[in-house]
Amino acid sequence: MAPFGARLTTAVSVRGPLCAGIDPHPGLLEAWGLPVDASGLERFALTCVEAMAGEIAVLKPQSAFFEAFGSRGIAVLERVVAESRDAGALVLLDVKRGDIGSTMAAYAQAYLADGSPLAADAVTLSPYLGFGSLAPALDLADRTGRGVFVLAMTSNPEGAQVQRALSDDRTIAQAMVDEAAARNAGASPLGSTGLVIGATVGDSGLDLAKLNGPILAPGLGAQGAGLAELRTVFGGALRHVLPASSRDILRHGPDVKALRAAALRVRDTLPVH
């Protein structure tokens, strides 16, 4: 495959920058009139794929909500990944894995290796065992044309304890930005090592000028972020941002047409990259 950064650039130019979450939260299953079991999960998730995979650039299944149903849930997740990609969407699998050595390598094989049934176009990773601990995933992603989004500054209040702490006169979050920028140096049109920065963090103090990679920005809509907040957080880097929305879209299910229309409405409020 072509590198993820190049494929993402093309997808966004055609379909816009929205990243739509597929979050089968038990409360949403109930709101859709579905049972909170593997059969309800399957109907929910595949309805989302039917509604959005043909129109939206990036779909983001939240792995935890599938894992909660055991092997049957993982089987549904495999279908979501495959059917979304078959319909033309890029799949960003939200797993937030972070570990060391052979365990990190095993996570990389699960989500980034050719032939794995869970291999997505990109995954989220946690670098807080040290950015270097992600090397097995970063290197495999480079070899297979996939991408990663590394947590940098998240919207949960507890995150500041680590992410805004200082190390060598810069915040830990800035150190993650700088490490990602080094991975992306020289890539064109865009590197494949992205960041996760919450759309609701306000003035982050982060210098994103050299990142040359994509930014996933959770928090659009129900969590309080709109276009003004995106501009405050990202400034000139907004052209590389994938604003992510879940609940504001998913509450319009289970009707496929209503769900698709909601996703397109959200997408069309975002600036064209």
* 230-54-26 Cα angle (round to 5): 70
Q: Which tokens in the block code for residue 258?
A: 């209503």
Closest CA to 4 of 123, 161, 168, 101: 123
Residues forming a β-bridge with 212: none
The C-alpha atoms of residue 145 and residue 160 are separated, in whole angstroms, by 32
Of 105, 228, 219, whose CA–CA distance to 153 is shortest? 219
Contacts of 205 (CB under 8 A, 6+ apart): 171, 174
Tokens of 12: 């966004």
Alpha helices in the chain (DSSP H): 4-15, 26-31, 38-52, 63-67, 70-86, 101-112, 135-144, 160-163, 172-184, 227-234, 247-250, 256-268
Give bridge partners of residue 20 from the DSSP assignment. Answer: 59, 245
Sign of the alpha-carbon dihedral angle for 204, 208, 211, 214:
positive
* Catalytic positions, written as ranges: 96
| Runs of H (alpha helix) within 88-244 | 101-112, 135-144, 160-163, 172-184, 227-234
